[in-house]
Amino acid sequence: MSAYRRLTINEVGDVTVVHFRDSRITEDLSIQELAQELFHLLDVDKRKKLVLNFAAVDFLSSSALGKLITLEKKVKGHNGQMKLCSIRPQIYEVFVITRLNRLFDIRKDEADALAAFQAAAQQ
């Protein structure tokens, strides 16, 4: 994909850090585009280590959670790893209520997520 419209992509070593351009991730066409871009990172660009940074996200719906679950399964299917970070407290509460905080590897911030990748690589 020559240009990502919903995501900002940065590489930190062999880790791909993804920032969301939309502050609200909800049930409409934009979430379909967002999912396509996320899946493209895996399926086409073959990225295997992902950090999804939610710093700019102040609202997301359960359909967004569904896309993240699908992405998590794809990452594991590709023998990759994914970490989420910088999730605002109100959004994090949604993960806790739905117990998805146990499914995803959620880190406090980007530095923490990258450090965790580094620590795992050194083992």
When the beta carbons of 9 and 65 are compared against another protein, the nearer one is 65
Contact 117, 111 (CB under 8 A): no
Establish if 102 lies at the interface with another protein (CB under 8 A): yes
Establish if 84 lies at the interface with another protein (CB under 8 A): no
Q: What are the structure tokens assigned to 115, written together?
A: 């450090």
Return the H-helix or E-strand segment holding 52: strand 49-53
Establish if 52 lies at the interface with another protein (CB under 8 A): no
Strands 15-20 and 105-107: what pairing? unpaired
Positions touching another protein (CB under 8 A) are: 26-29, 59, 61-63, 65-67, 69-70, 73, 90, 94, 97-100, 102-103
